[in-house]
Amino acid sequence: MKKIVVILMVLMISMGSFVWASGGEEEEVAVQLGELTEPITIEVWYSLGANYSAPLQVIIDAFNASQDMITVEGVYQGGYATTQEKLLAAYVAGDPPALSQLEQALVGSFVANNALIPLESYMKADKEFDVTDFNKDITQGATYDGKLYGLPINVSTPVLYLNRDLFREAGLDPDKYPTTWDEAYTMAEKISSLGPDVFGLRVYNSGWIMDSLFHQFGGILFNEDNTKSLVNSKEIKEAMGFWKKMVDDGIAVYQGGGDGSTMDASGKIGMVMRSTGSIDWFKVNVTFDWGVAPFTLGETKAVSLGGGNIYMLEKTTSEEQLAAWMFLKYLTNTENQVFWSTQTGYMVSRNSAKESPEIQEVLNTDPRYGVTYDQLPDAFARPTVEAWPEIEDLIQEAMTRIILEGESVDILDQTASDIDELL
């Protein structure tokens, strides 16, 4: 039987968690070289269904075939929120998987309860691993209090998908995309004049899309230490009011929840805010001429990082953690990042992968893939407050009431108060 010579982390563990020194400082972790001498099976939970699970399984199968000590089983858990709920339940029960994917904004509760293992000790001990190869703009989405907790798998920013056919029909230059929200309004107005069932923009009630919009108008959701909601600031009220005006004026259509793919593929929407990870979906499902433009339309050039990272869980054995690290390292190596990106449309997070001949060929052949990379200097990590799922629901509810039910943006005052009770 082949043996994998690895770095065995002997962790100071108390009741399945790291021992923490007074003042919140992590105790030093003992590290020694060692070997896995017994085969081990671990699970990785993930939230990527549809066309994303197949390439992930290819990587898992390749890892399992590369050696005979570690068997990784990929388990689909549903969407981001469902995965979070199941993972919390498993952690409380003392039986979490060794690895799990989590959407960036949903990890606050795990960090607050020391449920995730910081990766610094592993990275320092493993001389084969070069964290400096990862794009810092991307890894900020998995960094909390200066510690890196996860490694990126599906990374994206929102971009603006353009129906170039509708641009032409409206007398617009399909190669000239909007660079400000005022320009977007004017273009959407011309596109919507093409017919009663044609809209210039699809307004999407999504947390990470809204967060981008708020930042572009100069607003932020929380104060510096995440102890008070700022969702009722004049900047966020202005942002919410702008989208409301677009819908009220009939130039934008509001999609409150669920999948807007049917709308996006209909050919009746001029501009769509959606993940860069949807590029391959557009290539398969859309028949009209389409393009991709930056989603940095505000005076503040800002887009939120989206997607998920893979995290190692506490309340697992040192052997399980070792196996988890070995797979995590394999999953995010340069070769697999290139494969994943070319199969899904998500961006790579390693500089070496970005510069690979395969990715460079993609970028040179189809510049639409490059827009999200161009936006990275303007990207920001989303908030990681413990109660984020409940907070996001409150904001989305307020947005629906404002845009669809005609309520004033001043209802955000109550929303802010409700959020404060959760912080």
Distance CA 166, CA 111 (A): 46
Name the residue among 72, 71, 80, 70 with its Cα closest to residue 46: 80
Instruction: Please say if the pLDDT value at position 19 is more than 60.
Output: no
Superfamily (CATH H level) for 158-304+387-422: Periplasmic binding protein-like II (3.40.190.10)
Name residues whose C-beta falls within 8 Å of residue 146's C-beta, 6 or more positions apart in sequence: none
Q: What is the pLDDT of residue 388?
A: 87
Distance CA 401, CA 203 (A): 14
Contact 128, 369 (CB under 8 A): no
Q: What is the pLDDT of residue 141?
A: 83
Domains 5-156+306-367 and 158-304+387-422 share a fold: yes
Query: Which CATH code is given to the segment(s) 5-156+306-367?
Result: 3.40.190.10
What's the mean per-residue pLDDT of the chain? 87
Contact 332, 151 (CB under 8 A): yes
Domain boundaries, the chain: 5-156+306-367, 158-304+387-422
Distance CA 46, CA 204 (A): 24
In sequence order, what are the beta bridge partners of 7?
A: 33
| Per-residue pLDDT band at 14 (split at 50, 70, 90) | very low
- What is the C-alpha end-to-end distance of the chain, expressed in Å? 52
Which tens digit of pLDDT belongs to each residue from 336-370? 999 999 988 899 999 999 999 999 999 999 999 99
| Per-residue pLDDT band at 199 (split at 50, 70, 90) | very high
Which tens digit of pLDDT belongs to each residue from 205-246? 788 888 999 999 999 999 988 899 999 999 999 999 999 999
Q: What is the pLDDT of residue 257?
A: 61
Percentage of the chain modeled with pLDDT above 90: 66
| Per-residue pLDDT band at 261 (split at 50, 70, 90) | confident
Name residues whose C-beta falls within 8 Å of residue 59's C-beta, 6 or more positions apart in sequence: 330, 331, 336, 339, 340
